[in-house]
Structures are given as C-alpha cells and as structure tokens.
Amino acid sequence: MSKYDIIVLGSGPGGYVTAIRASQLGFKTAIIEKENLGGVCLNWGCIPTKALLKSAQVFEYLKHAEDYGLSVKEADKDFGKVVERSRGVADGMSKGVQFLMKKNKIDVIEGFGKLKAGKKVDVDGTEYTADHIIIATGARSRELPNLPQDGKKVIGYREAMTLKTQPKSMIVVGSGAIGVEFSNFYNSMGTDVTIVEFLPNLVPLEDEEISKQFERIFKKSGIKVMTNSSVESVDTSGKKVKATVKTRKGEEVLEADVVLSAVGIASNIENIGLEDVGIVTDKGKIMVNDWYQTNIPGYYAIGDVVPGPALAHVASAEGITCVEKIAGMHVEPIDYGNIPGCTYTSPEIASVGMTEAQAKEAGYDLKVGKFPFSASGKASAAGTKDGFVKVIFDAKYGEWLGCHMIGAGVTDMIAEAVVARKLETTGHEVLKAIHPHPTMSEAVMEAVADAYGEVIHL
C-alpha cells in the first residue's frame, strides 16, 4: 500500500492546482484521475470553448472586413477544422498539466478512485493511503427528467464541442454562461439558434441592465430569444427534434436539428465512497467548513462538489486555501462576495460584487455610474462600441459594492475591480488612479467619475 501525505481525487483546475501547491509546501502528493489531466475545464469546458469562440470572432471579423477598409472576397469556414483546432488546444493544455505534475514530483494515479474509511482510496483494486485526502471530482452537465440527453439530438456541452457536422438549427435550453457561449458560437458559424430561458432575462444572475443590453445585442445578431419560457418535453422520434415550449401565451412546438441542454451542472459525488466513509452531503453538495474540512477528519472537498460558485478560479483558490491551512500557514477564508464571474460571448460579460438591485435590497444609499463604450476612443478605433461599464458605490463611505461590464475584452478588465475591492479602495481613490489612454480600461475610471458627478467624456 502506497502512503502519501496528501492524495487529491480529481485533476481539474481545483485538483491539479491543489496538488502543485501541496508539493510546493513539501507534502508527498499523489493525484488520481479517471480520464484526462486537467479535468472538464481544460478538456471539455473553459479552454476548448474559448478556442471555438475565438474562431467565431475571427470569422465575424472576416465577414465585416469592409468595416475596417479591407476586402475579403469569400469568407467561409471549415466547421470540422474549427472543432479540430479546439481539440488541439485542449490536448496541449492537458499535456501542459502532465509536465507540471512531473516538474512538481507528483505521482499521477490513473483510474477511478473510491474513498474508504481510515484515510484510504481504492483505485481499481489498489489501495492508497494518506494523512489528508482532498475530494475534487468536479461536475457534469445536469439532466432534467423532461429533457433526457441521448448524445445525438439532445446533447450536453461535450457533444456540442465535438459535433461532426454543423447543425442548421439548434435550440439552446438555458442562458447561463454555457448556453449563451454556445449560442454565440453556433450563431456566428451560421446555425439558426433559439434560446429558451425560464427566467425573465438572459444571463439571469447578472445586473438587470447588463442582461437587457446583452439580449438586445443577441437579438440583433439573429438569435431568437424566448424568456419566461420552459421546455416541457422533447420528441426525438422524427428526423428532427421537436421541443414543446411553454410560454406566457401558451404552448409552442419548436423544431430543430439538435437541442443543447445547458441547464446547469450536477456534482460528481456518486459512487466515490462518501457513504462508506460517512461524509455528510446536502442537496447534492459535500458539506465543509471554511477550510474545506468535511465532518470526517482527514477528508476535505473543494470546487464544484461543495456549495458556492462552480467556477475554475474558485476551485483553484479553495484548493490552495485548503492545503495552506493543512500546512499550518496563516490563511484567510475566501471572500465569496468578491468572486469575479465572466462570460466569453461577443460581447463579453464580467462582474463582481453586488448588482444594483442587491445593493438596494441590502439597504445601501448608492452612487451608481455608467460609461458606454460608444464614448471610448479605443472602442471606436477597434470597432467594438457595444456595451458599457457600470459601477456601484456606497454613498456614505465610498465602498465599491459592485462592478458590471459588457463589451469587448471586459473579462480581462474585471480584475481591477476585484483587486480594488480586496484592498477596500474607495471611489475617490479609483478616480485619482491615472488610467492609460486610449484603452478600454479607462471606461472604469470614467464610470466611477460618472458616479461622483465628475465624468469628462460623456
């Protein structure tokens, strides 16, 4: 039986980052993976979808080359090669994680790991033991009873990433990040896309003004949007799939080549031995404390299997916090109120902190500022004038309560707000921090200036 200080179950962005930090801290570390190093994020999620979206963006540039004074005779795409490029990017990233495992002297154990009592993990019949076992098994596409996935006509994100041929029509159920990113990609490629969203707005977790602007842009691009609607059933017996959609006006039957179910994720906690060990779960999540300890000493959990935002960067941060606490370091609990969320559509969406509605509900007296990219010199020069930056401050103390952006490149810009909020920066301090010109990021400063009645370029 091999003995380790730390065993990590799962090698996604939570698991492999956790293993590397553990190794850096001097722990003898092993990582168990049943499929590909890098998990869903590197192989089937974050990275390959961005490769697809980049191809879509380049294609859009080619189609609108005349807007930039350029001439492209016939812009066309090879759907198979677009998918092939995406898979190549994913493979490269997975190989990069393999290199990091070797570099950090982490043992990679291939197979399906099952927890056992006594701080043990069984991997396909071989037992391993450790002082600390960290569960990082991630999540998968959630299936609804009335929307069963067959992998052909009703698909999840994995199949959407690797379709052999481009569908002429697609119904996307759900308008979270996964739903709208695939809608954006397939629409750009020329597929007729319809989004069905149960709630009143697309990207419903975002600030309402962001959601409304986003919906206008999507509709302008040719995507059909059905909000306050739900798919009640699907019929896959014919050549095409028929979806019965319940709307405020009654039921409607939509027909398409394929339906993409993007209704969220489900944690991978089944059949990994939680019951055998006695680890407590609730509503499909493993219960942990601030340091990711379960109710059973020596067993920990991070990432999509615990409550909180199911985001790669959150899983990584949780894993680092977990092992640093095990090492006896002084660490702070993660501030879940300062987690950035990003959606990589065109235009992008990025946000952190409270929405305006949440801040009002919390009882704050607000200063709210907005700056449209239509007034930005850099955005005008780039031809990316859609969108705006919105900032929300507490009027009494100047605390930065929330920041919400929609526009080109905003997923790179949101970090300014995250760091400023971490440092408890006030609105006046942001205002007096000189931002470079011409950049998209100076829209943040201008939005803050608008909140304080000092905006220059609006």
User: DSSP string covering 81-104, please?
Assistant: HHHHHHHHHHHHHHHHHHHHHHHT
92: annotated binding-site residue? no
Contact (Cβ atoms closer than 8 angstroms) between residue 145 and residue 302: no
Q: Which amino acid is at 338?
A: N
- Which of 64, 428, 437, 457 is flagged as catalytic? 437
179: annotated binding-site residue? yes
Contact (Cβ atoms closer than 8 angstroms) between residue 348 and residue 414: no
60: annotated binding-site residue? no
Helix axes 46-63, 177-189, angle to 10 degrees: 40
* Token pair belonging to 237: 């017996």
197: annotated binding-site residue? yes
Q: Is 253 exposed, middle or buried (0-12, 13-18, 19+ CB in 10 A)?
A: exposed
| Contacting residues for 181 by C-beta, under 8 A, at least 6 apart | 49, 53, 343, 344, 345
304: annotated binding-site residue? yes
171: annotated binding-site residue? no
As a whole number of angstroms, the distance between CA 246 and CA 197 comes to 11
69: annotated binding-site residue? no
Q: Which amino acid is at 146?
A: N
As a whole number of angstroms, the distance between CA 250 and CA 257 comes to 23
98 backbone φψ class: left, alpha, beta (φ>0; ψ -120 to 50): alpha
Distance of CA 284 to the CA centre of its chain: 19
As a whole number of angstroms, the distance between CA 279 and CA 190 comes to 48
332: annotated binding-site residue? no
Radius of gyration of the chain (CA): 23
β-bridge partners, 397: none
Q: Is 437 assigned a catalytic role?
A: yes
398: annotated binding-site residue? no
Q: Which amino acid is at 396?
A: K
Contact (Cβ atoms closer than 8 angstroms) between residue 238 and residue 208: no
175: annotated binding-site residue? yes
User: What is the residue whose two structure tokens read 């803050």?
Assistant: 448
User: What is the residue whose two structure tokens read 């996307």?
Assistant: 172
121: annotated binding-site residue? no
Q: Count helices and strands (H / E) in the chain.
A: 15, 24
- The residue length of the chain stands at 458
Annotated binding-site residue numbers for NAD(+): 174-181, 197, 264
Which residues are part of the catalytic machinery? 437
Annotated binding-site residue numbers for FAD: 50, 113, 304
Annotated binding-site residue numbers: 50, 113, 174-181, 197, 264, 304
